[in-house]
Amino acid sequence: MHSTLHFVPRRSDERGHADHGWLKTYHTFSFAMYQDPKHQQYGPLRVINEDRVSSLTGFGTHPHREFEIFSYIVSGELEHKDSMSNVEILTRGDVQLTSAGTGISHSEKNPNKDGIPVHFLQIWSMPSQSRLKPAYYTRHFTDEMKQDKWARVVAPVDDEGVNKQREGEGTPAPVHSGLTMYATMLSSGKMLEKELNRRKAYVHVIQTSSEENTQGAKVKLSDGAGEELILGEGDGAYVAVNCSSAKLFVENVSGEEGPTAEILLFDLDA
């Protein structure tokens, strides 16, 4: 049986990393001072930054244009303010998406006064068309919605089940890219499968247990035809899809009573 998928690991300790005191960040793709020609983007996926921001600090007002920008909140609080008059405090389970289009400015800060950092992933994708009108969306997904199943968190604006309302709990945020993002909280010993309908995919295991990646969940990727890869927290994997309707199998192999793995899966156009 021929392998339907091919995995290339993107190890956590090989990502770009910066510690600014108030900000600890890891870059999957080239970003800011970290530049690596081997890791520029994958399909429309351009940025995955895994950030931890200390309390009462954050990113001051800055501009963006021609990107689809979304934040996935793992823990803590993130205050968003932008030039479209949106002001919101995001918490665990929230997903905020800004279609920057012709241009917006925003700030992202941790408003918590008790010393609790905010841990979130900021993800950028390349839009499928330029000069879009800027737009803002928020969605909320409870842990139950993701527990041992895939939650469709972000999806192309014209896909079935996607609405263009500013808010919509449990429904995908609309993105103007050939990208669908799924999330799961996968218990130890559990396996999920997902049919991949595009040419590429990317998997990221969120670094929830340890900033140093010395503990935490272990996840096995397989295609059911002999191709396998083990990932730890903070690790990712480029996935090449070698046939139509290939299936990806994702299993938490952390051992008996091991930790839950929080995983993001991107189904991507080439």
User: What pLDDT score was predicted for residue 3?
Assistant: 85
- Across 176-186, average pLDDT: 98
User: What pLDDT score was predicted for residue 90?
Assistant: 98
- Across 110-130, average pLDDT: 97
State the chain's maximal CA–CA distance in angstroms: 57
User: What pLDDT score was predicted for residue 60?
Assistant: 97
Q: 23: number of CA atoms within 13 Å, CB side?
A: 18
- Across 226-246, average pLDDT: 95
- Return d(Cα 57, Cα 222) in angstroms, integer: 41
Q: In a 10 Å sphere around its CB, with 0-12 CB exposed, 13-18 middle and 19+ buried, how is residue 256 labelled? A: exposed
Q: Which residue has the tokens 């950028």?
A: 124
User: What pLDDT score was predicted for residue 177?
Assistant: 98
CB 83: neighbour CB atoms within 10 A? 14
User: What pLDDT score was predicted for residue 236?
Assistant: 98
- Tell whether the model's pLDDT for residue 240 goes beyond 90: yes
- Across 131-152, average pLDDT: 97
User: What pLDDT score was predicted for residue 5?
Assistant: 96
Give the pairing type, strands 118-125 and 68-75. antiparallel
User: What pLDDT score was predicted for residue 2?
Assistant: 76
Residues 6+ apart with CB under 8 A from 219: 186, 203, 205, 230, 231, 232, 250, 251, 252, 253, 261, 263
Q: Using alpha carbons, select from 240, 237, 138, 149 the residue that is nearest to residue 186.
A: 149
Residue-wise pLDDT tens digits, 196-218 = 989 999 999 999 986 655 579 99
- Return d(Cα 42, Cα 239) in angstroms, integer: 10
- Return d(Cα 73, Cα 96) in angstroms, integer: 9
- Tell whether the model's pLDDT for residue 1 goes beyond 80: no
pTM of the entire predicted model: 0.97
- Across 70-92, average pLDDT: 97
User: What pLDDT score was predicted for residue 213?
Assistant: 53
User: What pLDDT score was predicted for residue 210?
Assistant: 63
- Return d(Cα 212, Cα 234) in angstroms, integer: 9
- Return d(Cα 117, Cα 201) in angstroms, integer: 30
The alpha carbon of 176 is separated from its chain's Cα centroid by a whole number of angstroms, namely: 16
* 133-170 as b/e: b if 16+ CB within 10 A: ebbbbbbbbeeebbeeebbbbbbbbeeeebeeeeebee
- Tell whether the model's pLDDT for residue 8 goes beyond 80: yes
- Mean pLDDT across the chain, nearest whole number? 95
